[in-house]
Amino acid sequence: MKMKVSRSLAGFATLALALSAPALAGGPTSADLANDAASTGDVLTYGMGPQAQRFSPLAQINASTVKDLIPAYSASLGGEKQRGQESQPLVYDGTIYVTGSYSRVFAFDSHTGEKKWEFDARLPDGIMPCCDVVNRGAAIHGDKIIFATLDAHLVALNRNTGKVIWNKAIADYQAGYSATAAPLIVKDMVITGNSGGEFGVVGEVQARNVDTGELVWTRPTVEGHMGTLHGQPNGISGKTNATWPGDLWKTGGAATWLGGTYDPGTNLVYFGTGNPGPWNSHLRPGDNLYSSSTLAIDADTGVIKWSFQTTPHDGWDFDGVNEFIPFDMDGKKLGAKADRNGYFFVLDRTNGKFISANKFVMQTTWANGFNPKTGRPNYVDANRPGPPSADGKGNSVFASPSFLGGKNWMPMAYSKDTGLFYIPSNDWGMDIWNEPIAYKKGAAYLGAGFTIKPIAEDHIGALRAMDPRTGKIVWEYKNKAPLWGGVLTTAGNLVFTGTPEGYLKAFDAKTGQELWKFNTGSGVVGSPVTWEQDGEQYVAVMSGWGGAVPLWGGEVAKTFKDISQGGSLWVFKLPKH
């Protein structure tokens, strides 16, 4: 290691070098990442800990002081291309790392907001992101920042310079694959999923050596496909044709597009899976494993240890990708997931056993609850869209939630203090019908049409506090436009989330009372984080309106037609007294 020092300061420099050597030499290790939830001086993982509880023990900013919160600085992503900024910042050693729309990465000085470097991925023509050109965040390990691109690559950059260290294709973008999730790093492996569930792709989870990008294991998430370990066959996922007819499993979807969480206690990585392909469920009788499920995968081998399907035989695009958050209650090792289908699930995270499923939205037309013994939904058959006729549209039905979900990608948070989950949810429905469809490489593979509709006069978005013990909503905050940003909760009895109207807001974690808001100038659809620096607590969030809602919102677009695009990092702290 080289270090410039003046002769007279050589003695002090030796001391300084000793104190800062770990950060300068190696950067965060897998052990540091596993400990991220407890280390308040940094944010090293998507989810603020591999379990993604998004809870900080910091309390300098709290229900009493938050009213004084002010901007410390803001930093623009610049460029002509804006669109949705769904990234969660990472903070390490004086630098904030964020990803931006169009597969960009930025490093900013965490004290001043000055830009250190920027990396713009050179994207080919013909990428096929279904739902805006977003990216949800990077991963950090050692000297690397790693992120996924819209052309389905995984790229490792030098965290000090932004220069490429390795770059690997995870799938073929010309077949409709893409990638937007933040990678998960476990035991020196970088673990990612893929996107493309609207194009007849095959969902997969891949683990790679974080230093080289070489594959360690793969696990396809559609029944019938072969997994690998160190390049050798490692067993088929499920049993070919057990839950899929004919050849449809070959283009069966179940994309793992939101990434995963990790529980060191069970050594399991939890990945959710998207809709089965095509949307038209009449073409594929059966449960269509492992679509719309949570999968628990052995971190060392990529073998599926258990699975739980939240929407068997999905017919509404109820992707089950939502984050599965490990938490403990009454001495039990549990996990929770607020599903796109409108139900909040609690499972035994060691074996996938069903504990409970409770509605967290106004309305679920497709099912009347779940059978407590089997953990399967009580379907309302009349509310499944009908089969298409030979030459066209089948019977249209009204369905709620809409395909954009009771909750979409935006991550919830769990407070160890209140024992509550804070769910960014939406109340909306859709008219949906089926149409004939055949698979064609690189073409949309829906076999369905839809129109999204509001179902309440006063709101679409609702931030809801869910008690996992009772399945009851403890409080809710209603928002006119759909909520599309992540949630943060802290030991300061606070819950933070953003709104499309441009605000970052803070609520009392126990009562839901709104305590503070600040308008960032564009819609907030990113995930806020907090950390401590020089004795002060900071909060950061990305601002920049976009994501799937403006693309697919139909009638609900009225609620956000006046919102401008943007692309900025906003950082807040309390004034110094």
Selected binder of Ca ion within 319, 339, 427, 435 (CB under 5 A):
319
Residue 427 interacting with Ca ion (CB under 5 A): no
Handedness of CA 34, 38, 42, 46 (dihedral sign): positive
| Residue 68 backbone dihedrals phi, psi, to 5 degrees | -95, 0
Which CB atom, from 86 or from 317, has the smaller least distance to Ca ion? 317
Q: Which is nearer to Ca ion, 17 or 444 (CB)?
A: 444
Binding-residue total with Ca ion (CB under 5 A): 8
Stretch that binds Ca ion, among 41-49, 115-123, 350-358, 368-376 (CB under 5 A): 41-49
- Spatial neighbors of 209 by CB under 8 A, at least 6 apart, are 188, 189, 190, 215, 216
Q: Which is nearest to 346 in space by CA: 384, 308, 388, 312? A: 308
| Residue at token pair 């967290």 | 360
Assign 75 to helix, strand or coil.
strand
Which segment (12-20, 40-48, 188-196, 349-357) binds Ca ion by CB under 5 A?
40-48
With contacts defined by CB under 5 A, name the span among 36-44, 173-181, 385-393, 566-574 that binds Ca ion. 36-44
Q: In 3-state terms, what secondary structure has residue 13?
A: helix
Closer of 42 and 323 to Ca ion (Cβ): 42
Residue 36 engages Ca ion in binding (rule: CB under 5 A): yes
| CB closer to Ca ion out of 228 and 533 | 533
317 flagged as catalytic:
yes
Which residue is at the shortest CB distance from Ca ion?
39
Q: Give the active site residue among 317, 319, 339, 427.
A: 317
Q: Is 42 in the site for Ca ion (CB under 5 A)?
A: yes
Q: How many helices (H) and strands (E) does the chain have?
A: 3, 40
104 membership: H or E segment, kind and range:
strand 104-109
Nearer to Ca ion, 197 or 278 (CB): 197
| Residue 272 CB partners (closer than 8 Å, separation 6+) | 256, 258, 260, 293, 294, 295, 319, 320, 321, 322, 323, 324, 337
Q: Which stretch binds Ca ion (CB under 5 A): 197-205, 340-348, 433-441, 447-455?
A: 197-205
Q: How near is the Cβ of 419 to Ca ion at its closest, in Å?
A: 22
Q: Report, in Å, the least distance between residue 151 CB and Ca ion.
A: 19
Residue with smaller CB distance to Ca ion, 273 or 275:
275
Site string for Ca ion, 299-318 (x = CB under 5 A): ------------------x-
Member of 47, 100, 193, 197 binding Ca ion (CB under 5 A): 197
Rounded to whole angstroms, how far apart are CA atoms 454 and 472? Answer: 23
Please tell me the distance from the alpha carbon of residue 322 to that of residue 330, in angstroms, as a whole number.
Answer: 24
Task: Show the CA angle centred on residue 362, arms to residues 198 and 367, nearest 5°.
Answer: 60
User: Site residues for Ca ion, window 272-291 (CB under 5 A)?
Assistant: 274-275
Residue 163: count other Cβ atoms within 10 Å of its Cβ: 10
For Ca ion, which is the closer residue by CB, 229 or 448? 448
Least separation in angstroms between CB 256 and Ca ion: 12
CB of 149 to Ca ion, least distance (A): 20
Binding status of residue 260 toward Ca ion by CB under 5 A: no
Stretch that binds Ca ion, among 39-47, 92-100, 131-139, 563-571 (CB under 5 A): 39-47
Q: Is 132 in the site for Ca ion (CB under 5 A)?
A: no
Residues in region 506-525 near Ca ion by CB under 5 A? none
Question: CA-to-CA distance for 375 and 220, rounded, in angstroms?
Answer: 24
Sequence-separated (6 or more) residues with CB below 8 Å from residue 11: none
Kindly state the smallest distance separating residue 319's Cβ from Ca ion, in Å: 4
Cα-based distances in Å from 125 to 112, 151, 194, 367, 445: 36, 9, 19, 41, 20
User: Using CB under 5 A, which of the segments 2-10, 192-200, 203-211, 501-509 binds Ca ion?
Assistant: 192-200
Smallest gap from residue 359 Cβ to Ca ion (A): 21
Task: Tell me whether residue 41 or residue 245 sits nearer to Ca ion (CB atom).
Answer: 41
Q: Across-strand partners of 218?
A: 206, 228
Report the distance separating Cα 346 and Cα 332, nearest Å.
11
Contact 498, 543 (CB under 8 A): yes
CA neighbours closer than 13 Å in the CB half-sphere of residue 405: 29
CB of 257 to Ca ion, least distance (A): 8
Least distance to Ca ion from the beta carbon of 298, Å? Answer: 26
Answer for the pair 277, 200: CB distance below 8 angstroms, yes or no.
yes
Q: How far is the CB of 379 from Ca ion (least distance, A)?
A: 19
- Minimum CB distance to Ca ion smaller for 194 or for 522: 194
Catalytic residues: 317
Contact positions vs Ca ion (CB under 5 A): 36, 39, 42, 197, 274-275, 317, 319
